[in-house]
Amino acid sequence: MDKLEVPVYLITGFLESGKTSFLQEIFESGEFADGERGLLISCEEGEVELDEKATLACKIDTVTLDEEEELTADFLENCKNVYKPKRVFVEYNGMWMLDQLYQNMPEAWIVYQEFMFADAQTFLTYNANMRGLVVDKLKSCEMVVLNRADQRVDKVEIHKIIRAVSRRTNIAYEDLNGEVYYDDTPDELPFDLEAPVVEI
């Protein structure tokens, strides 16, 4: 890795989707408590607040943005120069388009991992009413984590929606007990195996 390269860990999703809780878990895990300075850019304030002890233990400075217009190239360049982070975490507002971030990041900042979080019980509603925002978050993420999953959740429909945007995104569910499991819905074949003649 180029010593000037700064890894960015991008966490996207709509309000109350579990982004902050996920960050809390990884900071508490000690995985990033290696003495390297980090920066968390939080683009919304939800119900859950990060425990300051966890961020301090990982040497994480935090800046919070309230408006999408504040996320400029000058702002991010200033963050780079003032905090001099060796890694950056971005808790991204689900109502903001990702291009705003990607176009304005300093050249040395490289997105290493991108996760999307969603409430499994409201995912279909968000997709029906704000399709453009959902697609924006799905198109480049490595994994979608759908929490609050129970037997009422239409996993087949969710699978179709995600696969229509990305074939490579991993899909994970977290049930109401906190157990995580991976989606095992088979992808539909692009041809009909029951037809008299199968056209491929």
Sheet containing strand 60-64, edge to edge, reads: 60-64, 38-42, 87-91, 6-13, 109-119, 143-149, 170-175, 180-182
Residue 90 pLDDT: 98
Which pLDDT value is given to residue 1?
A: 44
pLDDT in tens, the chain (200 residues): 445 899 999 999 998 899 999 999 999 998 898 999 999 999 988 777 888 888 999 999 999 999 999 999 999 999 999 999 999 999 999 999 999 999 999 999 999 999 999 999 999 999 999 999 999 999 999 999 999 999 999 999 999 999 999 999 999 999 999 999 999 998 765 556 566 776 66
Q: Where are the alpha helices (DSSP H) in the chain?
A: 19-28, 52-57, 73-83, 99-104, 123-129, 131-138, 155-165
Strands 170-175 and 180-182: antiparallel
Residue 149 has what pLDDT?
A: 96
The confidence score (pLDDT) of residue 106 equals 97
Q: Give the per-residue pLDDT at 192.
A: 61
CA angle 167, 173, 175 (to 5 degrees): 170
Which pLDDT belongs to residue 16?
A: 86
- The H or E element containing residue 42 is strand 38-42
Query: What is the pLDDT at residue 193?
Result: 57
Taking the C-alpha atoms of residue 76 and residue 8, their distance in angstroms, rounded to an integer, is: 12
What are the tokens at 36?
């390297």
Q: H-type helices in 30-96, by residue range?
A: 52-57, 73-83
Q: Is pTM, for the whole model, over 0.95?
A: no
Integer CA distances (angstroms), 117 to 114, 133, 169, 196, in order: 10, 13, 12, 43
Let me know: does 173 contact 183? Beta carbons within 8 Å: yes
For 140, other C-beta atoms within 10 Å of its C-beta total 17
Report the distance separating Cα 8 and Cα 27, nearest Å.
Answer: 15
Q: Which two tokens stand for residue 192?
A: 């009909």
